[in-house]
Amino acid sequence: MKNVFVLIFSVFITTILIPVLLIQRCSVIEPKIEKQQIVESNKVVHVYMHETGEIKTLDLEEYIKGVVAGEMPAAFEMEALKAQAVAARSYAVSRMRAYGKNGHPSHPGAELCDSVHCQVWLSKERLRELKSKNWMKNYWPKIEKAVEETKGLIMTYDNKPVDQPLFHSTSGGRTENSEDVFAAWVPYLRSVESPYEQEAPHLTDQQDISIATFVSKIKKKYPDCNINASNIKSSLKILERSDGGRILKMQVGNKILTGREIRELLGLRSANFKVAIYGEKMRFTTNGYGHGVGMSQWGANGMAKKGYTFDEILKHYYVGVEISKMK
């Protein structure tokens, strides 16, 4: 009787319990996708073309392919491209929900446009003009794969599609809180570490400008600023930096300016900078490239090289989000 019991128990272990455990283990490596289908979409977008003034009606997934091609180097790792695809789709869906067929006030009839005002979108025809034949042969299929393997996936927060899936080139080691750059507090746009950006071409940069040019630019925008070439060394002082290192407040003469204002005025790569004066010149040393909020693209590529999946990348840079399936 004992042998019969052992035999029955062995059959149970090998035919039922072990397969169940294996299935459970295998499921762990898959991206966590929310079962609830969050948003319904007709999966067609209307895109305003700035150069021609026309409005194109595009399949959503085809539109996302053009955005990934326009916004991220195709030589990046597949998981980084997938992360970019989901971020781009999330933005597109948020615009579709917000503006519908009436379109955005800046381009009536189209929820989106093809420039940086929305997301850069490039058609295949335009890519053939800009890229080599080898690029179309080697990289376009890679972009198609990244989009197709994330088809219908968007980021959600509190069961609602995120409406500000911001991204930038390089954070410089840490991203920014949204309110430190754009004034509005957004729960998923929190400052996080971005440690894998070593290969970014503009992780650090330098830009020299003459003191005369700096004073001229400041005085042109702020005529009542009392800065001049003779008092410039005593007139510049960094007062406050953000968690990510970007300048929040900087004294310039009798004015208190933000690093973002200085960056835009001088065309610097980042508002995270140091300034030194050498004779008649000023040297701005910047850290990072872009506004610094949301996903660092070079950081995402670095994470992908370390073995992180696209959903892990997104959940790192967008705090508290889930990856959800569209209807």
DSSP, residue by residue, 216-248: HHHHHH-TT----TTTHHHHEEEEEE-TTS-EE
Other residues' Cβ atoms within 10 Å of the Cβ of residue 39: 17
Q: Which two tokens stand for residue 52?
A: 């021609």
Q: What is the pLDDT of residue 133?
A: 85
Q: Which of 37-41, 67-71, 120-124 has the lowest mean pLDDT?
A: 37-41
Q: What average pLDDT does range 28-36 have in this prediction? A: 46
Q: What is the pLDDT of residue 132?
A: 87
Q: Are 204 and 285 in contact (CB under 8 A)?
A: yes
Q: Which of 33-47, 173-187, 211-225 has the lowest mean pLDDT?
A: 33-47
Q: How confident is the model at residue 129 (pLDDT cuts 50, 70, 90)?
A: very high
Q: How confident is the model at residue 40 (pLDDT cuts 50, 70, 90)?
A: low
* Beta-bridge mates of residue 325: 37, 153
The half-sphere exposure of 142 on its side-chain side, counting CA atoms within 13 A, is 19
Q: What average pLDDT does range 137-153 have in this prediction? A: 97
Q: Are 106 and 99 in contact (CB under 8 A)?
A: no
Q: What is the pLDDT of residue 127?
A: 95
Q: What is the pLDDT of residue 32?
A: 53
Higher-scoring residue by pLDDT: 94, 101: 94
Tell me: pLDDT of 164 over 90.
Answer: yes
Q: What average pLDDT does range 300-305 have in this prediction? A: 98
Strand segments, DSSP code E, in 79-223 are 103-104, 107-108, 112-113, 153-157, 160-161, 167-168, 204-210
Residue ranges of domains in the chain: 36-195+291-325, 204-287
Q: Which two tokens stand for residue 91?
A: 């933005």
The whole-model pTM stands at 0.84
Tell me: pLDDT of 27 over 90.
Answer: no
Q: What is the pLDDT of residue 10?
A: 47
Q: What is the pLDDT of residue 102?
A: 87
**Nearest residue to 284 (alpha-carbon basis) of 255, 254, 250, 253:** 250
Q: How far is CA 299 from CA 174, 206, 245, 319, in A?
A: 10, 21, 16, 15
Q: What average pLDDT does range 149-163 have in this prediction? A: 95
**Nearest residue to 237 (alpha-carbon basis) of 275, 182, 281:** 275
Higher-scoring residue by pLDDT: 59, 21: 59
Q: Which of 22-36, 106-120, 198-212, 275-289 has the lowest mean pLDDT?
A: 22-36
Q: What average pLDDT does range 95-121 have in this prediction? A: 91
* Beta-bridge mates of residue 112: 47
Q: What average pLDDT does range 81-108 have in this prediction? A: 93
Tell me: pLDDT of 3 over 90.
Answer: no
**Nearest residue to 272 (alpha-carbon basis) of 191, 214, 185:** 191
Tell me: pLDDT of 9 over 50.
Answer: no
Handedness of CA 43, 46, 47, 51 (dihedral sign): positive
Q: What is the pLDDT of residue 6?
A: 40
Q: How confident is the model at residue 39 (pLDDT cuts 50, 70, 90)?
A: low
Q: Are 168 and 291 in contact (CB under 8 A)?
A: yes
The phi, psi pair for 284, rounded to 5°, reads -105, 120
Cα distance between residue 298 and residue 295, in whole Å: 9
Average pLDDT score over the chain: 88
Tell me: pLDDT of 264 over 80.
Answer: yes
Handedness of CA 125, 127, 131, 135 (dihedral sign): negative
Q: What is the pLDDT of residue 117?
A: 87
**Nearest residue to 270 (alpha-carbon basis) of 205, 180, 209, 318:** 205
Burial tier of 245 (Cβ tally within 10 Å: 0-12, 13-18, 19+): buried
Q: How confident is the model at residue 42 (pLDDT cuts 50, 70, 90)?
A: low
pLDDT in tens, 189-202: 999 999 999 999 99
